[in-house]
């Protein structure tokens, strides 16, 4: 069940919000947990008991980390918890990838391949695994005491707004809100959440969905298309993935606010970045901060020699690429970004500081676009063919039907809103929509507008058979 389905928008969400808000405060966590369990079972019933078993074991393991006075035992339980969480992630997400590569090596030597039944991937496994890890490490590092009730722990991990695709919420940042959200439980706060949810819905339905079908058609031509269509395809994909993922994040953040939670921001106009370093402060922010705080800094961060800093950066981004999916193309995508982060530290930043903003933003967007080719294609050979076509190195042998004019309209709208904060008007618009306190009169206008957008979105979803979600199984 995704947020842009009619079932979620017209059945699940209204019933949940009604029950949640009429329930007494002490019962709201149980209502939210019950809804989250239904939400997960609806999408992946066969993995439900496995997930619950792993979470229950981890909950009591972390309790031992907190209560044990012996340092050795604390570390043993820490290792057990990390192995449990990472082991489950490794098996379900990477077992197929590992066996496929082993069989390729065996095949090259003429040896029989390993027989294997492919493992299905549970939805949201990367996100709830990372949150389990933050729970373990935040308690071990004494950033926060563990939760007393197992139901509160299950709520933290399984809370349905962020279950499928984040944002990744670190335990120490939300632990107190799980126990008490009364400070955020105001009409203004909940209405702001509704507006943000509608903005996210509009991003997904009116931009990502509207250009996504043509993107799929362009990338389906694995033998190549023209230079023009190659660039149209990758630019459109950059807009699709941004509005798809940031739209989902906005919907999750908005839902959280309607429940009294304050989820962290996950995107902040990443395509306006003036370097790849800045891009990663604005794209999938919660993943970047997770990798920084739970991997890069423990490895030494910037407090080591330059050579070790570069090693840490490339290692973190290789793992970041692999986290996105079990494919060499994802690894290459991570390495591509890691290499430019290193180059910027070595010498590029000194050059970028002297250039006008239009050139630095263009440089960053160009690097990101090349990276998206590897992210979007399934095989390395497909990525190389696509890049060759982008630069006219290979003549196209496939002619596509004319792209509908509506596609260009929605792509243009997406591009405008992707870069709009480079203007003073765009900055004011962003401030008003996301960070302002509204008067009663403004609430009336925004409420009417948001209901209208909601109704139109339902119409678009019902009329269209194309409603993908890129990050659904990450």
**Residues 288-346: tens digit of each pLDDT:** 999 999 999 998 888 888 889 999 999 999 999 988 888 899 999 999 999 999 999 99
CA distances from 420 to 248, 277, 415 (A): 20, 20, 8
| Residues 6+ away with beta carbon under 8 Å from 31 | 16, 19, 20, 23
Residue 126 has a pLDDT of: 86
Residue 25 has a pLDDT of: 87
Residues of the chain with pLDDT under 70: 109, 112, 116-117, 222, 395-401, 466-467, 471-474
Residue 399 has a pLDDT of: 66
Q: Are 450 and 195 in contact (CB under 8 A)?
A: yes
pTM: 0.93
d(CA 359, CA 128): 39
Residues 112 and 243 in one domain: no
Residue of 66, 144, 324, 337 with catalytic role? 324
Residues 365 and 401 in one domain: yes
Residue 227 has a pLDDT of: 87
3-state SS record for the chain = CCCCCHHHHHHHHHHHHHHHHHCCHHHHHHHHHHHHHHHHHHHCHHHHHHHHHHHHHHHHHHHHHHHCCCHHHHHHHHHHHHHHHHHHHHHHHHHHHHHHHHHHHHHHCCCCCCCCCCCCCCCCHHHHHHHHHHHHHHHHCCCCCCCCCHHHHHHHHHCHHHHCCCCCCCHHHHHHHHHCCHHHCCHHHHHHHHHHHHHHHHHHHHHHHHHHHHHHHHHHCCCCCCHHHHHHHHHHHHHHHHHHHHHHHHHHHHHHHHHCCCCCCCCCCHHHCCCHHHHHHHCCHHHHHHHHHHHHCCCCCCCCCHHHHHHHHHHHHHHHHHHHCCCHHHHHHHHHHHHHHHHHHHHHHHHHCCCCHHHHHHHHHHHHHHHHHHHHCCCHHHHHHHHHHHCCCCCCCCCCCCCCHHHHHHHHHHHHHHHHHHCHHHHHHHHHHHHCCCCHHHHHHHHHHHHHHHHHHHHHHHHCCCCCCCCCCC
- Whether residue 469 is contained in a domain is answered as no
d(CA 16, CA 33): 11
Residues 170 and 200 in one domain: no
Residue 324 appears among annotated catalytic residues:
yes
Residue 201 CB-density burial (10 A; 0-12 exposed, 13-18 middle, 19+ buried): buried
- Whether residue 150 is contained in a domain is answered as yes
- Whether residue 272 is contained in a domain is answered as yes
Domain boundary pick from 138, 153, 180 = 180
Residues 75 and 40 in one domain: yes
- Whether residue 132 is contained in a domain is answered as yes
d(CA 283, CA 163): 19
- Whether residue 278 is contained in a domain is answered as yes
- Whether residue 246 is contained in a domain is answered as yes
* Mean pLDDT rounded to a whole number for the chain: 90
Report the domain count for the chain. Answer: 2
Domain boundary pick from 180, 202, 225 = 180
Residue 396 has a pLDDT of: 63
Residues 13 and 72 in one domain: yes
Residue with token string 């696509």: 386
Q: Comparing C-alpha atoms, which of 54, 159, 125 is closest to residue 325?
A: 125
**Residues 425-471: tens digit of each pLDDT:** 999 999 998 888 899 999 999 999 999 999 999 998 888 776 677 76
- Whether residue 468 is contained in a domain is answered as no
Residue 348 has a pLDDT of: 94
CA quadruple 232, 235, 241, 246: dihedral positive or negative?
negative
Residues 144 and 194 in one domain: no
Residues 130 and 167 in one domain: yes
Residues 158 and 41 in one domain: yes
- Whether residue 215 is contained in a domain is answered as yes
Domain boundary pick from 123, 148, 180 = 180
Range of the domain at 92: 6-180
Residues 120 and 148 in one domain: yes
Residues 174 and 39 in one domain: yes
Residues 292 and 398 in one domain: yes
Residues 295 and 214 in one domain: yes
d(CA 426, CA 417): 8
């Amino acid at each position: 069940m995704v947020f842009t389905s009619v079932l979620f928008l017209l059945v699940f969400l209204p019933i949940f919000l009604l029950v949640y808000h009429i329930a007494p405060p002490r019962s709201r966590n149980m209502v939210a947990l019950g809804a989250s369990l239904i939400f997960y079972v609806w999408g992946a019933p066969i993995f439900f008991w496995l997930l619950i078993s792993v979470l229950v074991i981890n909950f009591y393991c972390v309790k031992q980390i907190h209560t044990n006075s012996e340092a050795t035992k604390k570390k043993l339980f820490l290792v057990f918890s990390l192995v449990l969480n990472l082991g489950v992630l490794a098996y379900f997400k990477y077992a197929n990838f590992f066996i496929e590569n082993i069989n390729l090596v065996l095949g090259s030597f003429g040896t029989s391949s390993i027989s294997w039944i492919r493992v299905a991937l549970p939805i949201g496994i990367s996100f709830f695994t990372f949150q389990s890890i933050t729970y373990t490490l935040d308690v071990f590092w004494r950033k926060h005491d563990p939760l007393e009730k197992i139901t509160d722990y299950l709520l933290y991990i399984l809370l349905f707004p962020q279950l499928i695709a984040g944002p990744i919420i670190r335990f120490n940042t939300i632990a107190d809100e799980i126990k008490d959200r009364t400070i955020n439980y105001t009409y203004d706060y909940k209405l702001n959440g509704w507006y943000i949810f509608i903005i996210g819905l509009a991003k997904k339905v009116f931009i990502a969905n509207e250009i996504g079908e043509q993107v799929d058609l362009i990338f389906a031509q694995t033998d190549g298309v023209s230079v023009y269509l190659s660039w149209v395809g990758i630019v459109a994909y950059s807009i699709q993935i941004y509005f798809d993922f940031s739209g989902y994040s906005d919907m999750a953040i908005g839902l959280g606010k309607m429940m009294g939670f304050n989820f962290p921001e996950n995107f902040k106009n990443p395509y306006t970045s003036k370097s790849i370093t800045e891009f990663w402060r604005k794209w999938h922010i919660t993943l970047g901060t997770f990798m920084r705080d739970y991997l890069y800094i423990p490895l030494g961060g910037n407090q080591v020699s330059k050579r070790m800093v570069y090693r840490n950066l490339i290692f973190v981004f290789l793992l970041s690429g692999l986290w996105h999916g079990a494919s060499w193309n994802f690894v290459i995508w991570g390495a591509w970004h890691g290499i430019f982060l290193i180059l910027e530290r070595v010498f590029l930043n000194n050059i970028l500081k002297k250039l006008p903003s239009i050139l630095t933003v263009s440089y960053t967007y160009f690097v990101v676009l090349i990276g998206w080719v590897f992210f979007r294609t399934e095989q390395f050979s497909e990525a190389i063919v696509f890049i060759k076509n982008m630069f006219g190195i290979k003549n196209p042998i496939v002619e596509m039907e004319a792209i509908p004019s509506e596609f260009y309209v929605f792509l243009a709208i997406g591009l405008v809103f992707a870069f709009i904060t480079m203007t003073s008007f765009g900055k004011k618009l962003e401030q008003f929509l996301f960070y302002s306190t509204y008067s009663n009169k403004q609430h009336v206008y925004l409420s009417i507008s948001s209901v209208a957008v909601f109704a139109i979105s339902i119409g678009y979803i019902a009329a269209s058979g194309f409603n993908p979600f890129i990050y659904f199984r990450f």
